[in-house]
Amino acid sequence: MRQSNLFMPTLKETPADAVAKSHQIMLRGGYIRQVTAGVYAYLPLAYRVLRKAEGIIEQEMDKIGCTEVLMPHLLPATLWEESGRLSKYGAEMFRLNDRHGRPSLLGPTHEETFTEIIAKNLKSYKQMPIMLYQTQTKFRDENRPRFGLLRGREFVMHDGYSFAASREQLDAQFDAQKAAYENIFARCGVEVRPVIADSGTMGGKNSTEFQAPAAAGEDTIATNETGTYAANLEMAVSIDTFKQEPEDPKALEKVATPGQETIAQLAEFMHVPATRIVKSVLYIVDEKDKVLVLIRGDKEVNEVKLTHALDCDSLRVANDDELKAITGAAKGGVGPIKAAWADKIIADETVKGLSNFVVGANETGFQYANTNLDRDFKVDEFADLRTANEGEPDPVDHLPLKFITSIEVGHIFKLGTYYTETMGAKFLDQNGKAQPVIMGSYGIGVSRMLSAIVEQHQTEHGVAWPKEVAPYSIHLVQMKMNDDAQTDLANKLYDELSKKYDVLYDDRKERAGVKFADADLVGAPIRITIGKKAKDGIVEVKQPTEDKAQEMSVDELKAYAT
Ligand code: ATP
Ligand code: MG
Ligand code: MG
Ligand code: MG
């Protein structure tokens, strides 16, 4: 590609509203442009990276026998009614009516769509195991779309679904997907930690998140010092907390005067190291599990927030009088109080996924519960939490834990039979008996991954793209367009190298400074500068992570490029 033909609308200044480094670089480099909040146009550079990442995914899925399909974006609400997720999914779902008034939606994920196809088209155990995937635009009306492609309302997801006739088949599919994901991330140049995760609204139990450590991440993962244990914050704190039984049941009442505790006092009260409380949430619920008070542990202060429902829209900061009224009511008026210890970071006003684990106190003393899967949680689901994590190392054996900010780039689930049972996807087993199909689901945020790559590979003035996803693998930069020796050599190299590589040739009549600044933003793994010594067949070669270029003859260059 000749750069004179490339649409790359660079910006000299960093846009004021872009906070994340990756967002800034992608805007400055003319990779993306926002169309509306959380909705982006992929310009040529970003689209090339996206397509390369999709290509890698396709190859790795081929290897494990997972085949590509394409499902519709526009879905009937009835499909989601069947699974019971229509109301559960909440405000994040884009809903619309068609001209006949039929409720419809834009797919935020596709468990239902795939399950329905299987329900109608699969009959026998002989047809399994099956794995299918697609790479497709998803729609989620996120409360706070931000950081460019990191949290969009429209984004590209690779989502895969596995169907099995036995647990063993599911386990094998899950392991194959996990291994494929590790290859995908490695080839895309994303450093990831597979972590034990909670399954959110997916309705499954066993799940692993792929978390990419990066400053712009909205998640926090906990690892031990040697890196042999890693979990997202929900699971790490969940498992950890129940080990720390407060000695004095009455102490819980102390929590009913929020705002007065410092982090250190809270830590002492909870019998956990203070770091554990940082960025965590303590909240008090009434007997109906309605959240009354939230205390958010921040670095030094407790931010006190108040809400009347588990509905994020109603969350706000309480004033002193309100707090007094509520804590007073909680203490006296509304019956047994449960002081709940939740462990999810509340990123600003977002409360989604708030309560995962509860330490509760009532007249009979302390009780524990896992509220992950059911809001109508039962107090003795405590045991459930333990089975969900069977086989995983116990974090208590791995203290002290380190906390790392990271980006969730992928998430894989053993769903079991939740969808297939509710939606009637059955097969006949070897004995001719009808059984529900056993399912898994697997997702990578492909567009989000672009941002994660830039986060992890940013340079002082741009980005150093990993080889396999770079928009161009070689950037040929000609210094002076009116120098015949330079033009001859550039054209010769361009023709030759283009046979094997994606070459971008900067043939623009621009100053050297402009060309180099743009080259930093293109971030090709190899930059070849054709300057004064072109007449002697000498060029300068540099990788984006190197400070200095090295001179090479054209022959040396050919050896170097391979
Ligand atoms: P998050 O916790 O960041 O909201 P999620 O857990 O809701 O993500 P999943 O339902 O697990 O997301 O979807 C699979 C993958 O899709 C995620 O691991 C993530 O990489 C990507 N993804 C989810 N939401 C977004 C979004 N709003 N923008 C870009 N990518 C997203
Ligand atoms: Mg989400
Ligand atoms: Mg998540
Ligand atoms: Mg997830």
Ligand nearest to the CA of 151: 1
Distance of CA 93 to the CA centre of its chain: 18
Tell me, what's the pLDDT at 263?
Answer: 37
**Ligand 1, atom 2: closest residue by C-alpha:** 408
Tell me, what's the pLDDT at 220?
Answer: 78
**Ligand 1, atom 1: closest residue by C-alpha:** 408
User: Is residue 307 predicted with pLDDT exceeding 60?
Assistant: no
Name the band, by pLDDT with cuts 50, 70 and 90, for residue 196: confident
Residue in 337, 334, 333, 286 with CA at minimum distance from that of residue 310: 286
Tell me, what's the pLDDT at 402?
Answer: 66
pLDDT digits (tens, 9 = 90+) for 403-424: 688 999 999 999 999 999 999 9
Tell me, what's the pLDDT at 479?
Answer: 97
C-beta separation of 503 from 473 below 8 A = yes
pLDDT digits (tens, 9 = 90+) for 466-481: 999 999 999 999 999 9
Residues in the ligand 1 pocket, defined by CB under 6 Å: 109, 140, 142, 151-152, 155, 157, 200, 408-411, 443, 445, 447-448
What DSSP designation does 353 have?
Answer: T
pLDDT digits (tens, 9 = 90+) for 69-87: 999 999 999 999 999 999 8
Q: Which helix (H) or strand (E) holds 304?
A: strand 302-306
User: Is residue 30 predicted with pLDDT exceeding 90?
Assistant: yes
**Ligand 1, atom 19: closest residue by C-alpha:** 445
Tell me, what's the pLDDT at 558?
Answer: 85
User: 126: CA distance to ligand 2 center in Å?
Assistant: 36
Name the band, by pLDDT with cuts 50, 70 and 90, for residue 535: very high
Strand order in the sheet with 550-553: 503-506, 474-478, 526-530, 538-542, 550-553
Name the band, by pLDDT with cuts 50, 70 and 90, for residue 198: low
pLDDT digits (tens, 9 = 90+) for 336-354: 223 333 332 222 222 222 2
Q: Which of 6-15, 177-186, 315-324 has the lowest mean pLDDT?
A: 315-324
Pairing of strands 67-68, 130-139: parallel
Q: Which positions ≥6 away from 161 have C-beta within 8 Å?
A: 110, 111, 114, 115, 131, 132, 133, 439, 440, 441, 442
User: 201: CA distance to ligand 3 center in Å?
Assistant: 10
**Ligand 1, atom 14: closest residue by C-alpha:** 443
Tell me, what's the pLDDT at 405?
Answer: 86
pLDDT digits (tens, 9 = 90+) for 149-171: 999 999 999 999 999 999 999 99
User: Is residue 305 predicted with pLDDT exceeding 90?
Assistant: no
